[in-house]
């Protein structure tokens, strides 16, 4: 395939070398003549293991060259990849001026190019940037329409400095965001020989995935550092603690708990988060990530309350209020917190959870419901059907299987607020998902 790669910085140079190494004809484009000259002499403009060898070999074999001419690059390629920088502004937003400028330049050439051309963004941009910046700029500069006269895709990179070449050929996944399947088909051909999951999705989802990845990585570093800090202050080896932590591949290092939904609760997580942050305070340690966990959980409950209130219905039916399905445990259930907040605001509620049966509750659970939340017991009904008949807004609070059919039978004149994705739907007029 014939490719032009805009921006010969870190991502652009690695991408150019690796794609040329896969027997594509690659033209690197950069306004910096020094970078262009280095590439054309078979040298790398960045320091990164194995990149220089790739550049040398592919320039020698005629598969890679560089230029400052946008017209030359776009005219002699089928696909252009945008790999320019998107640095932070003072307020934390991205500076997309380099992206905008490159799109203007590409568009000006596309105005006079007859062949269909695909523009691929590998630069990291916030979700919606392709729609609000890349496409309008290309269309304005070319006088042509995306999806008809030229294609656009998002193709986020997952390269780490120091291991970038290995990461390119052995990625955790390849993500293609596309508006039209035929555009994604051509882009997917570039990765046909790479053994990794190929995920094709919408452009906005592809843009967001990169941010989910990087923020998760940052969170992991901060989390491990704070656990290590507390461990050391307590006379322990934090590395040993985290090494044992990482042995758990079923819960700790897995997709478990990483599905957006409602807040956490129960008898373990809230108690243990509070206990560890108390320990940190007693040791005069500042652990802002751990301290923020309970704050974030409370804010998520607030979001649910706002979501329910936005439907402007006073009669609310709650399906499931134990802290999760298949349990009768109401201790620190976020749904109980939500119910109490709704009661306090004057809403009329009915609740049902087959696992929370007054006649069967014993021990701590019975004491909790009788002495801590007796007002809630008076709102309980004996079936999901009663909840569905009563409420104008039906809130699904946990993922008990019986609620799937109950929610699916809600009349179109009612609203479902789904906190756990019991129904596989996207939000619309009669259905609202918590995070989808």
Active-site amino acid positions: 268
| The token pair that represents 5 in the structure block | 């790669």
Same domain flag for 12 and 149: yes
Contacts of 209 (CB under 8 A, 6+ apart): 156, 175, 201
Q: Is 257 left (phi over 0), alpha (psi -120 to 50) or beta?
A: left
Which residues share a beta bridge with 432? Answer: 417
Positive or negative, the CA dihedral 377, 383, 389, 391 is positive
Task: List for the chain the helix, strand, coil content (%; round to 5).
Answer: 45, 15, 40
| The token pair that represents 109 in the structure block | 């050439």
Whether 393 has a binding-site annotation, put simply, is no
Whether 279 has a binding-site annotation, put simply, is no
Of 293, 314, 348, the last residue of a domain is 293
Same domain flag for 57 and 191: yes
CB 38 within 8 A of CB 110: no
Same domain flag for 280 and 251: yes
**Best CA proximity match to 1, nearest among 111, 102, 76:** 76
Q: Return the half-sphere exposure (C-beta side, CA atoms, 13 A cut-off) of residue 239.
A: 0
| The token pair that represents 336 in the structure block | 């109980």
Of 293, 314, 338, the last residue of a domain is 293
Number of compact structural domains in the chain: 3
Same domain flag for 341 and 360: yes
282 domain-assigned: yes
Q: What is the pLDDT along the chain (436 residues), one digit of tens a residue?
A: 999 999 999 999 999 999 999 999 999 999 999 999 999 999 999 999 999 999 999 999 999 999 999 999 999 999 999 999 999 999 999 999 999 999 999 999 999 999 999 999 999 999 999 999 999 999 999 999 999 999 999 999 999 999 999 999 999 999 999 999 999 999 999 999 999 999 999 999 999 999 999 999 999 999 999 999 999 999 999 999 999 999 999 999 999 999 999 999 988 999 999 999 999 999 999 999 999 999 999 999 999 999 999 999 999 999 999 998 988 888 899 999 999 999 999 999 999 999 887 545 667 677 777 787 888 888 999 999 999 999 999 999 999 999 999 999 999 999 999 999 999 999 988 999 999 9
Per-residue pLDDT at 370: 78
Same domain flag for 218 and 99: no
Distance CA 110, CA 112 (A): 5
Positive or negative, the CA dihedral 427, 257, 167, 239 is positive
Same domain flag for 253 and 327: no
Contacts of 428 (CB under 8 A, 6+ apart): none
Whether 389 has a binding-site annotation, put simply, is no
Whether 161 has a binding-site annotation, put simply, is yes
Same domain flag for 280 and 374: no
Of 265, 293, 321, the last residue of a domain is 293
Whether 245 has a binding-site annotation, put simply, is no
Whether 116 has a binding-site annotation, put simply, is no
For residue 348, give its domain range: 297-433
């Amino acid at each position: 395939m014939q490719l032009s790669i805009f921006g010969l910085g870190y991502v652009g140079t690695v991408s150019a070398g690796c794609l040329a190494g896969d027997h594509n004809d690659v033209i690197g484009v950069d306004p910096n003549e020094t970078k262009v000259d280095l590439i054309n002499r078979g040298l790398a403009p960045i320091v990164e293991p194995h990149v220089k060898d790739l550049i040398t070999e592919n320039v020698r074999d005629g598969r890679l060259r560089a230029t400052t001419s946008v017209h030359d690059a776009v005219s002699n390629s089928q696909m252009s990849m945008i790999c320019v920088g998107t640095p932070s502004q003072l307020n934390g937003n991205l500076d997309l001026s380099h992206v905008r400028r490159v799109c203007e330049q590409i568009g000006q050439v596309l105005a006079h190019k007859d062949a269909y051309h695909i523009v691929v963004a590998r630069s990291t941009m916030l979700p919606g940037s392709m729609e609000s910046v890349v496409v309008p700029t290309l269309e304005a500069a070319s006088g042509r329409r995306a999806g008809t006269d030229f294609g656009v895709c998002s193709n986020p990179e997952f390269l780490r400095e120091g291991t970038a070449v290995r990461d390119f050929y052995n990625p955790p996944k390849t993500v293609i965001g596309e508006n039209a399947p035929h555009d994604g088909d051509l882009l997917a051909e570039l990765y046909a020989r790479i053994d990794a999951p190929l995920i094709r999705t919408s452009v906005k989802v592809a843009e967001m995935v990169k941010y989910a990845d990087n923020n998760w990585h940052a969170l992991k570093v901060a989390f491990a550092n704070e656990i290590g800090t507390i461990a050391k202050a307590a006379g322990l080896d934090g590395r040993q603690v985290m090494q044992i932590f990482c042995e758990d591949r079923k819960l700790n290092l897995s997709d478990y708990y990483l599905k957006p939904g409602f807040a956490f609760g129960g008898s373990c997580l809230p108690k243990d988060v509070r206990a560890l942050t108390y320990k940190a305070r007693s040791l005069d340690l500042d652990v802002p990530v751990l301290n923020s966990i309970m704050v974030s959980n409370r804010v998520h409950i607030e979001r649910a309350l706002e979501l329910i209130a936005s439907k402007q219905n006073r009669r609310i039916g709650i399906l499931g209020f134990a802290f999760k399905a298949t349990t009768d445990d109401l201790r620190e259930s976020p749904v109980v917190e939500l119910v109490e907040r709704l009661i306090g605001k004057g809403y009329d509620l009915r609740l049902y959870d087959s696992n929370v049966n007054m006649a069967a509750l014993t021990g701590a659970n019975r004491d909790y419901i009788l002495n801590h939340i007796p007002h809630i017991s008076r709102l309980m009904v004996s079936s999901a059907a009663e909840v569905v008949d009563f409420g104008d807004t039906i809130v699904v609070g946990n993922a008990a299987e019986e609620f799937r059919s109950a929610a699916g039978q809600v009349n179109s004149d009612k609203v479902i607020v789904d906190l756990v994705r019991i129904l596989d739907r996207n939000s619309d007029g009669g259905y609202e998902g918590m995070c989808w």
